[in-house]
Each structure stands twice: as C-alpha cells, then as structure tokens.
A and B are shown apart, each in its own frame.
Chain A
Amino acid sequence: MLTPDKRLIYRHHKDGHNHTHPHPFSPELETQRSGGREIKVVRRVLDANDMMAARNREFFASKGIFVLNVMSSPGSGKTTILQRSLAHLMPELRCAVIVGDICTTQDADRLSLSGAPVVQVNTDQFGGDCHLAAHVIERAMAGIDMDAVDLLIVENIGNLVCPAEFDIGEDQRVVVLSVTEGEDKPAKYPLMFRECDAMLLNKIDLLPYLEYDVETTLQSVAQIHPGMPVFQISAKSGQGMDAWLDWLREQVRSKRT
C-alpha cells in the first residue's frame, strides 16, 4: 500500500512540461538496466487471482447467486451489521455467509445464530493473509449447499487496504466506516472507497458523544467516489437499516432479472 501521505502525491516534473499520457516517476528508470537479455512478460501480478475470480463469477451467475463483499477496518461493525441484516433478509432471501478472520471462529458463531449457513475462513492457514483471495472463496463454498442460496455475503478480513486489491468474483462491494474511526479515513484509503459500490456509515448512535462531522465524511466521499450511495446506520439500534436493506434487496433482484 502507498502510505496515506505518499499515495497520490507526485514529484513535480522538473521542466514543467505537459503530459497527456501516464508518466512514470520512479528514479529507478534513470538507472542502468542490468545489461542482460530482456524478455517481455506483460502479465498482471494478480492474474491467477483474477482468473479464479472470473471462474467464481461465472459459477455464481450460473446459479443466480448475488455475491456481496463487505470490507472495513477491524471492529467497524461488519458482523453486527450482518447479524441484523440477516434477521431482516431471511427467509425471503436464502442467505449464506463466508467470514474471514486471521484466527478464531467467534464471528461465525455469532452469524450462525441467524440460521444461515456460515463458513469461517481462518487465513492463518494461508500465511495470515490480510484479505480473502478468490481461491479461498472457492474452497469455502464447498461447505455450503450453493443450490439453496440467493445471496452470498462475504465478510472480508478487517483491513482497509489489501482486500480492495483482490477480486473474489463478487457482484458488489460495500465498505463499512464507523464514526469512531474519524472523518479522514476515505481520504487516507481512497482505493477502498473508490472500489466499493456503496458505503455504510455505522455506529451513528454514538454521534451525540463524539465530535464526528458527518458532513466532512460525506464531502470527502463525494470527491473520491461521486454518486456512491452512503447509508447512515446503527447496527446497534437498527436506525437507518431499512434504506440499506432496500438497496441490497434491489441489487439482488436486479441480478436475477
């Protein structure tokens, strides 16, 4: 990841000329090549993951399953939001959950109370990865009867950086930001907020106790991802959940038709 202050801050061109093409800045370009024989490769580093994600996506499409990838920093309320959402969405929608954590099965235990099939993925078997990769999702699906699922929700590992880079074959991505994390998070992690299709601003029940400025957050998000829907919710009190759930139901419906 580019650190928040390094990201998107460019060295200025010395000669101030104008560009209409992407321009590399790295000083390494000016160093000598190794003098060896150069062999063109031209492949995406994440080729293997992208191919697996495409396979997942094809599989989901063949089954008519809508897949939601939920991402956020640790503790912003993903599991709590999903618990409450599942209680409203089921049984009209047959839901299943894949939940990633580096270790422990606590989130899966909480989500299982909903009655939905839940598969916990612990990435410490995969080197403690900070994200769920497409092949991990494929493997996790083996634990679910996918013929009996309309909506598959993936709770990604708590991390605002890495999961944004890994396509898992999902239809839509949602980022959760809680008001205790600060207004500056979208600007500090623009890739995540740019890559997601909707944002949940959670824990608004705490606003009376904080000096959190919702307007600042909304303005910042409107610059990074103009037009992205933002739902202000409290997974604790249930406030704002209806609008979010209506949006989600609409997404699921529109994939089916």
Chain B
Amino acid sequence: MHEMSLAMEILKIVQDSIPADLIDARVQRVNLKVGRMSAVVPDSLRFCFTVVSDKTNVAGAELAIEEVAVEVRCGDCGHQWLIDAPVFVCPQCSSGRVEMLSGRELDIVSIEIEDEEGSDAHAG
C-alpha cells in the first residue's frame, strides 16, 4: 500500500504547479498517466488522493488516470509489439533482449484549473 505516499507526492507536485496568480483558483482535475506495469491500483490511488487533498486548495479535484499499455522492442531484430501478458521474449526471433518502451509511467501530465473568464464567457 504505497498509494498513500504516491497521493502525497501528487498533491505536492500539483500544489507546486499552480501558477502564482491562480493560487486561489480551484483545481478541478489532475491528469495522470499510469503504465500497466507500474505497481499502482488506480482505485486505491484515487481514494488516497481524495483523503490527502481534503481541506487543501486541491480538495475535490478529480484524479483522471490514463493507463498506458506495455510496449516493448526486441534488442536483436528490432521487432516492436504490445504485450498482454508478462512475457518478455521476442515472438519473431526468440531473443530475450527485450526493452520496455512504455508501461512504467507514473507521470503527472497536467492540471486543470477553474477558469473564471472561461466560465463567464460560457454563461454570457
């Protein structure tokens, strides 16, 4: 259960990323990329984030998690493919020199902040 530590890191990064002139604005959404091979349970992470962000300027923000597939490349023949089981052996040449291109992500992509001008324009 390290989702709590991850949630705390996310909160810190989100708070650091709010521009100074928008410090009072509400953070509506945090966009996160999580690789399929990373050791994270999305539901548990969302829950922990709700807990740690409570009573902060990020309270109520949605943690939107985009899962990223595991793509690998053979170091011998260059074959590139998506894996759906943890088998890191090249189907073309049987090589075990297989490199992971994606699937280990645990990245904050962006945050979305309430845009007062935008919502005014919308209303009007």
* Chain A residues close to B by CB (< 8 Å): 1-3, 7-10, 19-26, 28-29, 31, 33-49, 127, 129-131, 133, 161-162, 164-166, 187, 190-191, 194, 222-227
Contacts and interface: CB of A to CB of B under 8 A. Distances in A.
A224 B87 contact: yes
A190 B2 CA distance: 17
B112 interface: yes
5 contacts: A10-B69, A10-B82, A28-B64, A161-B2, A227-B96
> Does more than half of chain B's interface fall in helix, strand or loop, or is it mixed?
mixed
Nearest to A131: B2
A36 B117 CA distance: 10
A8 B83 contact: yes
B58 interface: no
B58 to A, nearest CB: 13
A7 B17 CA distance: 31
B14 to A, nearest CB: 8
B67 A36 contact: no
Q: How large is the interface on B (under 10, 10 to 19, 20 to 34, 35 or more residues)?
A: 35 or more
Interface in B62-110: 62, 64-71, 80, 82-89, 95-98, 101-103, 106-110
List of 5 A-B pairs having minimum Cβ-Cβ separation, nearest first: A226-B96, A190-B86, A22-B102, A34-B28, A37-B115
A168 B118 CA distance: 44
Contacts of A224: 86-88
Interface of B: 1-2, 4-6, 9-10, 12-14, 17-19, 22, 28-29, 31-33, 36-41, 62, 64-71, 80, 82-89, 95-98, 101-103, 106-115, 118-119, 122
